Amino acid sequence: MTLSFLIILASASLCLAKDPVWVNPLNPKDPQSLPTGVNKNVLVVGGGLAGLSAALELAERGYSVTIKEKYKSIGGKLFCKPVEILNQTFYIEHGFHAWFYNYYQFKDIRKRLGIDENFKSWDAVHYIFRNYKPEVIYSEGPYPLNLLGIISRSPNLKLTDAIKSVLSLPDLIFYDFDSINEKYDNLTFHEWAIQKKVVQDFYDIIMKPALSVTLNEQEIFSAAEMLSFVQIYFLTNSKADTREVTNVNYYQAILKPWTDYLLKLNVKIILDAEVLRLKIDEKGQNVYGSVDKTGDDSTVYDWVVMASEVGAVKKILANTFDYYKTSAILNPIISNCIQKHLDPMKVAPDYKVVRLWFDKKLNNSAPNILETPDFAPVNLVAQYHLLEEEFMQWSSRTGGSVMEFHCYTWSSHFSPNVSDSEVWNLISPTVELIYPEIFERNFQVLAYHVNSFQNFASFEKGLLKQRPFSNSFEMNKLNSIYLAGDWIRTDYPSALMERAVSTGREAANHILIKDNVRQVPLLVVNKKGPGLGF
């Protein structure tokens, strides 16, 4: 996401930051864990951030938790696996991520795991454009003077650009989560900008970059969802735009400490165990087991948290429906859940993350992370030899560099069926526009690795009202099943990795209150915008 969205508010004289709010337990007097001798089994389907979050809360409170992960690596969209490259084992992530100040649930987990030292600040965000001068955006000083500082340093914008876009200010300054969702989900963000008469330069430099890194098609992204993102990442308080990156790979920084902690709590983590369908008691509509690729799981589960990506949840429920389609009780219940909450959900376009090992380094002025909103399909470039320790060591030893190119909405530009060996040649002309130095100095590609995915949720207009909450299945009489993930709806502003972690905690809380165990509080972004004060 781009820090520069904050400039929209530069025309306001004074803004009041909004503190986060607590979602407190509904049962504060209940005990903090299951009573001694009481055993409750929970199946968590999916080992990404949402599943790990739910497992953590439940295991700490005495539940017997089993995580079944489809892939051979834990982490979901955060996965990080060892790969043999250039006679060395490197841990390669799903792709680069940033960690923001308002990721309150994740910061709480970081402290509990003792991994804060694995993160470092990312102080300034660099952008390049085709038709504008490069931007270096950073926030400095008290709120809202930091906003004025951003615009005063911009080589492209003037305060009058924000003033001319004054019609957009009420939806931002006086943001109201519930009314914005109701009013704007049937508009795209681009349509909203036209409606609010945002000037073109301002849209291109300030707003468009935020859309370019959502992995969705920019032209169809929901205005309601994006306005929520704006509050989370830019406006709700003076530190909202503060972000961090890890100084080691995600396996060492996050996943190993997290899974080690879960294993100490006796959580079973089963990899390469894709869940195919659920086993449901036809009379009580309660889940009592699952069938995975290894066979029939005979464990009787009291609760299930489905923490998989949207496509996987669709597949599991479709298989479950097929199995119980002759059941007079379950057929209409499962069918209703599928039609009401899953069928409308879509998956964002496919994308590729390409990491290359070069024999040379860019000049010292090249930023460690560069956002490139005008250079699709390349949307972001990260220099890993400036970010993570193992790549720093390799670079110091060889004089080479390791660079990662994020290519979103891939099939809008190239065939989805190209081989990995073709990817670099296809994106090279675009990369040459971004970093001509690579070609002028004849960088040699020593090795490269390609990740290809189509697993990110779509946030196109019109989907928000049909998006399920973490307890939507239960509300539709499919008992004992809760949902978690970055595609699940919340009743407070949330997005991306923090939404995954938060909904994992929500799913755990639904289980805890049913078992008379005290729920876990959530600290969340305020539903109200910063407002004005004089």
The three-state secondary structure class of 307 is coil
Q: How many domains does the chain have?
A: 3
* 383 and 238 together in one domain: no
CATH of the domain at 507: 3.50.50.60
Q: Smallest Cα–Cα separation from 75: which of 49, 95, 40?
A: 49
Average pLDDT over residues 188-194: 95
Q: Smallest Cα–Cα separation from 520: which of 28, 14, 115?
A: 28
Cα(477)–Cα(333) distance, integer angstroms: 7
* 134 and 234 together in one domain: yes
Asked if residue 106 belongs to a domain, the reply is yes
The answer to whether the beta carbons of residues 43 and 71 sit under 8 Å apart is no
The annotated binding site for FAD is made up of: 275
Cα(148)–Cα(159) distance, integer angstroms: 8
pLDDT at 529: 87
* 341 and 427 together in one domain: no
Asked if residue 458 belongs to a domain, the reply is no
The answer to whether the beta carbons of residues 390 and 248 sit under 8 Å apart is yes
Q: For residue 341, name the pLDDT band (cuts at 50, 70, 90).
A: very high
Beta-carbon contacts of 430 under 8 Å, excluding residues fewer than 6 positions away, are: 375, 376, 377, 378
* 384 and 438 together in one domain: yes
Full DSSP string of 470-495: TTHHHHTT-BTEEE-STTS--SS---
Residue written as token pair 């979103």: 408
3-state class percentages of the chain: helix first, strand second, coil last, to nearest 5 = 40, 20, 40
* pLDDT(84) > 90: yes
End residue of a domain, out of 242, 274, 295: 242
Asked if residue 145 belongs to a domain, the reply is yes
Full DSSP string of 497-517: HHHHHHHHHHHHHHHHHHTT-
Residue written as token pair 């690579």: 438
Q: What sections of 14-122 are H helices per DSSP? A: 49-60, 104-113
Asked if residue 532 belongs to a domain, the reply is no
Asked if residue 534 belongs to a domain, the reply is no
* 360 and 449 together in one domain: yes
The answer to whether the beta carbons of residues 210 and 1 sit under 8 Å apart is yes
Residue written as token pair 């119980």: 324
Q: pLDDT per residue over 356-380, tens digit each?
A: 999 999 998 899 999 999 999 999 9
pLDDT at 1: 44
Average pLDDT over residues 208-216: 84
* 425 and 353 together in one domain: yes
The three-state secondary structure class of 379 is strand
Q: For residue 301, name the pLDDT band (cuts at 50, 70, 90).
A: very high
Q: Which helix (DSSP H) or strand (DSSP E) does residue 178 occupy?
A: helix 177-184
The DSSP symbol for 86 reads T
What angle do the packed helices 177-184 and 223-230 form, to 10 degrees? 150
pLDDT at 530: 81
pLDDT at 286: 78
pLDDT at 211: 83
Q: Smallest Cα–Cα separation from 218: which of 208, 230, 204?
A: 208
* pLDDT(156) > 60: yes
More confident site: 284 or 350: 350
pLDDT at 153: 87
Asked if residue 531 belongs to a domain, the reply is no
pLDDT at 147: 64
Report residue 20 as tokens: 């986060």
Q: For residue 162, name the pLDDT band (cuts at 50, 70, 90).
A: low
Q: pLDDT per residue over 384-442, tens digit each?
A: 999 999 999 999 999 999 999 999 999 999 998 999 999 999 999 999 999 999 999 99
pLDDT at 21: 96
Beta strand pairing status for 99-100 and 243-246? antiparallel
The three-state secondary structure class of 473 is helix
* 256 and 316 together in one domain: yes
* 361 and 335 together in one domain: no
End residue of a domain, out of 182, 209, 242: 242
Q: What sections of 324-388 are H helices per DSSP? A: 330-337
Give me the count of residues in the chain: 534
- CA angle centred on 501, ends 125 and 392, rounded to 5°: 45
pLDDT at 343: 97
* pLDDT(66) > 70: yes
The DSSP symbol for 294 reads T
* pLDDT(242) > 90: no
* pLDDT(470) > 60: yes
Asked if residue 148 belongs to a domain, the reply is yes
End residue of a domain, out of 426, 453, 480: 453
Q: Please report the beta strands in 333-440, taking only residues with DSSP state E, as ranges in sequence order.
A: 351-358, 369-371, 378-383, 401-407
Domain that holds residue 96: 82-120+348-453
In this prediction the pTM is 0.94
Q: For residue 258, name the pLDDT band (cuts at 50, 70, 90).
A: very high
pLDDT at 17: 64
Cα(215)–Cα(461) distance, integer angstroms: 15
Cα(408)–Cα(218) distance, integer angstroms: 11
AA identity, residue 534: F
Chain center to CA of 32: 30
Lowest-confidence region among 15-24, 127-136, 467-476 = 15-24
Beta strand pairing status for 401-407 and 351-358? antiparallel
The Cβ-side half-sphere exposure at 198, using a 13 Å CA radius, reads 24
Cα(137)–Cα(367) distance, integer angstroms: 12
CATH of the domain at 403: 3.90.660
Cα(4)–Cα(13) distance, integer angstroms: 18
Q: pLDDT per residue over 487-513, tens digit each?
A: 999 999 999 999 999 999 999 999 999
Q: For residue 7, name the pLDDT band (cuts at 50, 70, 90).
A: very low
Asked if residue 311 belongs to a domain, the reply is yes
Lowest-confidence region among 23-37, 142-156, 215-229, 244-258 = 142-156
pLDDT at 382: 97
Kindly report whether the peptide bond that precedes residue 257 is cis, defined as omega within 30 degrees of 0. no
* 108 and 238 together in one domain: no
* 366 and 379 together in one domain: yes
What letters, b where the CB count within 10 A reaches 16 and e where it falls short, cover 469-495?
A: bbbbbbebebbbbbbbbbbbbbebbbb
The annotated binding site is made up of: 275
* 49 and 147 together in one domain: no
* 230 and 369 together in one domain: no
